[in-house]
Amino acid sequence: MTDQQHPIVPPRDKIHNWLQLEKIDYNLEQIITLAAQWGADQELEACMEWISKQDWTWTSAQFRAARRPKPPSLKEEALMALDRMNQFPTADDQYIIRRALEALDD
């Protein structure tokens, strides 16, 4: 994800709090475990929210697609980059557009 943080990545303040724990009596393995547990909790809550909004005709494929969406194609990335060029260009926009153009057949 380029312009947004992945929803399962802990916020900076949470990471900062965990790093403070290491200075007290936690070791790195315990901090990594806390982060993994936090991420699993976030995923469980998101899954429960998704399920609560569905009728009961959904399939496991729909569930997987909702929880693990495919990244945008190079074409989609290039179109988004082109849209941003006039408003809020990012450092990667030119690179993305160049990659998309180079992928085209002559």
Q: Is residue 27 part of a domain?
A: yes
Taking only the tens place, the pLDDT of each residue in 65-91 is 888 878 888 888 888 888 888 788 788
Q: Is residue 3 part of a domain?
A: no
Instruction: Report the domain count for the chain.
Output: 2
Per the CB < 8 A criterion, the answer to whether 21 and 12 are in contact is no
Is 51 found in the same domain as 14? yes
For residue 78, the tally of other CB atoms under 10 A from its CB is 19
Is 62 found in the same domain as 21? yes
**In this model, does residue 98 exceed pLDDT 70?**
yes
Report the run of H or E that residue 66 belongs to, with start and end. Answer: helix 60-67
Structure-token match 């916020």, residue found: 11
High-pLDDT (> 70) share of the chain, %: 89
Q: Is residue 85 part of a domain?
A: yes
Is 80 found in the same domain as 64? no
Is 83 found in the same domain as 60? no
**In this model, does residue 1 exceed pLDDT 50?**
no
pLDDT of residue 27: 76
Range of the domain at 86: 71-106
**In this model, does residue 3 exceed pLDDT 80?**
no
Look at 4 and 94; give whichever has higher pLDDT.
94
Rounded average pLDDT over 80-104: 84
Q: Is residue 91 part of a domain?
A: yes
Is 37 found in the same domain as 60? yes
